[in-house]
Chains A and B, each alone.
Chain A
Amino acid sequence: MIKLISLVPLFPLIGFLINGFFGKKITKSLSGIIASGSVLASFIISILAFFELESSTHKQNIVNVFDWINSGDLTIPFQFLYDPLSAWFLLIITGIGFLIHVYSIGYMHSDEGFSRFFTYLNLFVFFMLLLVLGNNYVVSFVGWEGVGLCSYLLIGFWFKNTAYNNAAKKAFIMNRIGDLGFLLATVLIFTNYNSISYTEVFEKAGTASTSTITLIAIFIFIGAMGKSAQLPLYTWLPDAMAGPTPVSALIHAATMVTAGIFIIVRSNVFYSMSQEASSFVAIVGAITALFAAIIGTLQNDIKKILAYSTVSQLGLMFLGLGVGAYSSAVFHVTTHAFFKALLFLGAGSVIHAMGGEQDIRRMGGLKGKIKITFITMLIGTIAISGVPPFSGFFSKDELLAHVYEQNKILWLVGMLTSILTAFYMFRMIFLTFYGSFKGTHEQEHHLHESPSNMTFPLIVLAALSIIGGLLGLPEFIGLPNWMHHHLDEVIKIKNPLMLSHETEATLMGLAILSAAASIYFAYMLYMKNKVLPVEKENEFKPWQKLVFHKFYVDEIYETIIQKPIDVVSSFFSKVVDNQVIDGIVNGVGTFVKTSGSAVRLLQQGNIGFYIISMVVGVIMCIVLLTMAIN
Chain B
Amino acid sequence: MLGYTITQWLFGILSFLAIMFGLMVVFSRNPVNSVLYLVMAFFCIAGHYLLLNAQFLAVVHIVVYAGAIMVLFLFVIMLMNLNQDTEPQRTWLTKIIAGISGGLMLFVLVGSLKGSEQLQLTTYGASQIGLVKNLGKVLFSEFLFPFEIASILLLAALVGAIMIGKKEIK
Contact = CB atoms under 8 A, between A and B. Distances in A.
Contacts, number: 24
A626 B111 contact: yes
B118 interface: no
Contacts of A618: 105
Contacts of A626: 108, 111-112
A612 B95 CA distance: 11
A615 B101 contact: yes
B146 interface: no
B111 A608 contact: no
Nearest to B102: A615
A612 B108 contact: no
B98 interface: yes
A619 interface: yes
A577 to B, nearest CB: 52
B98 A608 contact: yes
Interface string A594-630: 0000000000000010001001101100110110000
A482 B63 CA distance: 113
Interface string B84-125: 000000100010011001101100110110000000000000
Contact of A612 (B98, B109, B112): B98
Nearest to B109: A622
Nearest to A606: B94
A619 B104 contact: yes
Contacts of A625: 112
Given A612-B98, A612-B101, A615-B101, A622 B108 contact: yes
Interface in B39-97: 90, 94, 97
A608 B91 CA distance: 11
B90 A623 contact: no
Contacts of B98: 608, 612
Interface of A is mostly: helix
B161 to A, nearest CB: 22
A573 B90 CA distance: 60
Q: Which of A619, A622, A623, A625 has the most CB of B within 10 A?
A: A619
Interface string B110-144: 01100000000000000000000000000000000
A497 B104 CA distance: 108
Interface in A423-467: none
Contacts of B101: 612, 615-616, 619
Contacts of B112: 622, 625-626
Nearest to A609: B94
A626 B105 CA distance: 13
Nearest to B95: A608
A615 B105 contact: yes
B97 to A, nearest CB: 6
Given A608-B90, A608-B94, A612-B97, A623 B102 contact: no
A608 B97 CA distance: 10
Nearest to A608: B94
Nearest to B107: A619
Contacts of A619: 101, 104-105, 108
A495 B52 CA distance: 110
Nearest to B94: A608
A623 B108 contact: yes
A629 B111 CA distance: 13
A612 B101 CA distance: 7
Nearest to B98: A612
Contacts of B105: 615, 618-619, 622
Nearest to B111: A626
Nearest to B105: A619
Nearest to A612: B101
A624 to B, nearest CB: 10
A618 B112 CA distance: 13
Interface in A544-602: none
Contacts of A616: 101
A617 B85 CA distance: 32
A475 to B, nearest CB: 97
Contacts of B108: 619, 622-623, 626
Nearest to A630: B115
8 contacts: A608-B90, A612-B97, A612-B98, A612-B101, A615-B105, A618-B105, A619-B101, A626-B111
Given A616-B101, A626-B111, 8 more contacts: A612-B98, A615-B101, A618-B105, A619-B105, A622-B105, A622-B108, A623-B108, A625-B112
Interface of A: 608, 612, 615-616, 618-619, 622-623, 625-626
Which 5 residue pairs are nearest across A and B when measured between Cβ atoms?
Answer: A626-B112, A615-B101, A622-B108, A619-B105, A619-B108
